[in-house]
Amino acid sequence: MGVYLDNAATSWPKPESVYLAVDHFMREVGATPGRGGYQQEEEAQRIADETRTALAQLFHAPDPQSVIFTLNATQAINMALKGLLSPGEHVVTSSIEHNAMWRPLKALEKRGVEITTVPCSPDGMLDPVDLEAVLRPDTRMVALLHASNVLGTILPITEVGEIVHHHKTLLLVDAAQTAGSYPIDMQAMGIDLLAFAGHKGTYGPPGTGGLVVMPGIHMETWVEGGSGFPSRPETMPDELPLRLEAGTQNSAGIAGLLLGVQFVLEQGVEKIHAHEMRLASQLIEQLQAIPGLSILGPINMEQRTAVVSVTVDDYIPDQLSAVLDKVFGVATRAGLHCAPQAHNIAGTSENGALRFSPGYFNTAEEIDYAVESLRNIL
């Protein structure tokens, strides 16, 4: 029995419609949006436009043209940080960020951007009062993940959004762990910039993602090149999305992403979230009965996603993950999960943790099997 429980890294399997869309695009369309005026190019442009519209609907963004395609959430975060932060400006972040946020921030720090890190509790909780206390007149941005890929903790983005806007600064949110599986309303939550991974909760192929920008935010380009039309100017166009989409995009991936987002919209984010949380609750309940096992993150299920990371006394997470895979066919992820800051907070920085992350296509029977497999190892 093969069980895939690494959806926090990449969702799998995808809806069948996603596979068919990519295959159809590669065989029947093949063109690049904005490059030419023939029928295949027009079809590629239609697909790209429809994908922007679907994503704007999913995130309650007012303008589909402000949906910028990227290759992943990491690229989107870099685009936002490096397009808005200048030397001498101040940015606030949390102590549980993924390297997709942490590393570009540290690179900017070397260039003169000042960073303040708000400490989280060992289970990853952030107090908005602590965040407001470090805001300054020169704070340009608050940059936070929506949910931790290690602890599962959901940060109070709506409360933070109210505080950030009261102080007239910008809020960038890394929604890699929540886009498609947790309700996001950019306008109601006060999110100015939303980075997302297309290959996770929106069921797109690898190599898809994006940055959604609220109207009125002007970003400097961080990469320049061809934009299709117009070609004559020596600088990138002012209007979005052309300004921030230099070069040929992953059009086949975008075609698959469209069907993935449509699947989410048809199923309903609330339904997807409820199913994943039922599996997470079942998983946690069974894991809690194992002697010597500790579960990271909040106890309150309303404060977490379906990400469940654990440590087991006298066992190294990497070894447990390897045996689960090779002997029992259970796919998990162990180690530091590209998020050593979160492991520092949780006290697991030496060996990391073993992470289970069920998704919409997992079943209760698979959860039972995964836990029983772990019991057989211990």
Burial 262-301 (b: 16+ CB within 10 A, else e): bbbeeeebeebbebbbebbeebbebbeeeeebbbbbbeee
The predicted pLDDT at position 35 comes to: 67
CA distance 119 to 212: 27
CA distance 149 to 342: 9
Strands 209-213 and 293-295: unpaired
Mean pLDDT (whole number) for 279-305: 97
Neighbouring CB atoms inside 10 A of 231's CB total: 7
Q: Which CATH number fits domain 3-12+268-377: 3.40.50.2300, 3.90.1150.10, 3.40.50.150, 3.40.50.300?
A: 3.90.1150.10
The CATH class that applies to domain 16-267 reads alpha beta
The predicted pLDDT at position 134 comes to: 98
For residues 33 and 150, the model is more confident at: 150
DSSP 95-123: TT--HHHHHHHHHHHHTT-EEEEEPPPTT
Q: What is the pTM of this model?
A: 0.96
The predicted pLDDT at position 34 comes to: 72
For residues 226 and 134, the model is more confident at: 134
Does the pLDDT value for residue 64 go beyond 70? Answer: yes
The predicted pLDDT at position 26 comes to: 96
CA distance 193 to 156: 16
Structure-block tokens of residue 87: 């030397």
The predicted pLDDT at position 235 comes to: 81
Question: Residue 72: which of 261, 199, 181 has the closest Cα?
Answer: 199
Does the pLDDT value for residue 325 go beyond 80? Answer: yes
Return the biggest CA–CA distance within the chain.
Answer: 68
Q: 167-196, pLDDT tens digit by residue?
A: 999 999 999 999 999 999 999 999 999 999
The predicted pLDDT at position 114 comes to: 98
Q: Find all residues with CB under 8 Å of 343, minimum gap 6, and list them.
A: 150, 336, 337, 349, 352, 353
CA distance 34 to 242: 9
The predicted pLDDT at position 7 comes to: 99
What percentage of the chain reaches a pLDDT higher than 70?
A: 99
Q: Is residue 210 within 8 Å of 61, Cβ to Cβ?
A: no
Q: How confident is the model at residue 302 (pLDDT cuts 50, 70, 90)?
A: very high
What SS3 class is residue 3? Answer: strand
Q: On the CB side of 46, how many CA atoms lie within 13 Å of its CA?
A: 10
DSSP 265-294: HHH-HHHHHHHHHHHHHHHHHHHTTSTTEE
The predicted pLDDT at position 65 comes to: 95
The lowest-confidence range among 106-110, 191-195, 210-214, 248-252 is: 248-252
Does the pLDDT value for residue 233 go beyond 90? Answer: no
For residues 30 and 288, the model is more confident at: 288
Q: How confident is the model at residue 312 (pLDDT cuts 50, 70, 90)?
A: very high
Q: 234-249, pLDDT tens digit by residue?
A: 788 888 888 888 888 9
CA distance 236 to 225: 7
DSSP 295-345: E-S-SSGGGB-S-EEEEETT--HHHHHHHHHHHH-EE-EEE-TT-HHHHHH
Q: Find all residues with CB under 8 Å of 263, minimum gap 6, and list them.
A: 15, 17, 18, 203
Angle at 171 between CA 6 and CA 87, to 5 degrees: 105
- Residue spans per domain, the chain: 3-12+268-377, 16-267
Q: Do domains 3-12+268-377 and 16-267 have the same CATH topology?
A: no
Q: How confident is the model at residue 319 (pLDDT cuts 50, 70, 90)?
A: very high
Amino acid at 314: D
CA quadruple 221, 76, 47, 21: dihedral sign = positive
- Adjacency order of strands within the sheet including 114-118: 67-70, 209-213, 193-197, 170-174, 139-145, 90-94, 114-118
Q: 19-56, pLDDT tens digit by residue?
A: 999 999 999 998 888 767 788 988 989 999 999 999 99
CA distance 182 to 146: 10
Average per-residue pLDDT in the chain? Answer: 96
